[in-house]
Amino acid sequence: MSVPTPTTEPTTFRAGDLLSWSKSLLDYPASGGWTLAYTLINAAAKITINASASGADFLISIAASVTAAYTAGSYRWMARVTKGTDIYTVAEGMIEILPNLAALSTYDGRTHAKKMLEAIEAAYEGKASTTQLQLEINGRRIINFTPADLIKWRSFYQAEVAKEADADSFARTGINRRRIGIRCTRV
């Protein structure tokens, strides 16, 4: 059974997986001599992906062995078409490259906010590890914070962790748990 090729850029994919989609650009067809290239970039890496022609459309296909070398993280991407000296940006967006769990021996999936909250709570309780005490907020190590500072930053990171949980819940269910619906009817 053949799986249809997606026709939009992915918003997320896992390093080490086959990545494939097609792109139809009516104003810039591949059959008209246009080429399409994607650039993915963040603070740590830059990835260039060249599409191949498939009739008038473009096919983007990156082997799992190639994506296995991609560094996990959030990337800004841009798609550009080129024909001779003509260059046009035709799309842009964000993409999340997830780590290849099969290639890792260990993995800490906690977000920055979750790590910081756990470190602050451990420091406040006097149970922080050396690693937790070495974490920094605005250039100050957690070990140097006053109890008042720890309480302030604990509140901040609790709110951040709650936002992340809400976003994750909404992504999975489509339900915004902070939105309350009220229905009024006439009697």
pLDDT in tens, 144-172: 788 888 889 999 999 999 998 888 888 78
Count Cβ atoms below 10 Å from residue 172 Cβ, excluding itself. 8
Domain that holds residue 89: 12-100
Within a domain: 43:
yes
Q: What is the structure's pLDDT at 94?
A: 96
| Residue in the structure block whose two tokens are 């067809």 | 29
Whole-angstrom distance, CA of residue 18 vs CA of residue 113: 31
Residues 86 and 138 in one domain: no
Within a domain: 107:
no
Instruction: Point out the domain boundary residue: 100, 134, 155.
Output: 100
Within a domain: 186:
no
Split at pLDDT 50, 70, 90, the class of 109 is confident
Q: Strand 12-14 relative to strand 86-98: parallel, antiparallel, unpaired?
A: parallel
Contact between 39 and 1 (Cβ < 8 Å): no
Instruction: Point out the domain boundary residue: 38, 71, 100.
Output: 100
Element containing residue 132 per DSSP (H, E): helix 130-133
Residues 94 and 25 in one domain: yes
Residues 87 and 117 in one domain: no
- Find the DSSP H helices in the chain: 64-67, 112-124, 130-133, 147-173
Element containing residue 67 per DSSP (H, E): helix 64-67
- For residue 176, give every residue at least 6 positions away whose Cβ sits within 8 Å of its Cβ, in sequence order, or none: 166, 170
Split at pLDDT 50, 70, 90, the class of 4 is confident
| pTM passes above 0.75 | no
Q: How many domains does the chain contain in total? A: 2
Mean confidence (pLDDT) of the chain? 90
Supply the CATH number for residue 61's domain.
Answer: 2.60.40.10
Split at pLDDT 50, 70, 90, the class of 1 is low
Residues 121 and 95 in one domain: no
Element containing residue 161 per DSSP (H, E): helix 147-173
Among 30-34, 115-119, 177-181, the minimum mean pLDDT is found in 177-181
pLDDT digits (tens, 9 = 90+) for 6-63: 899 999 999 999 999 999 999 999 999 999 999 999 999 999 999 999 999 999 999 9
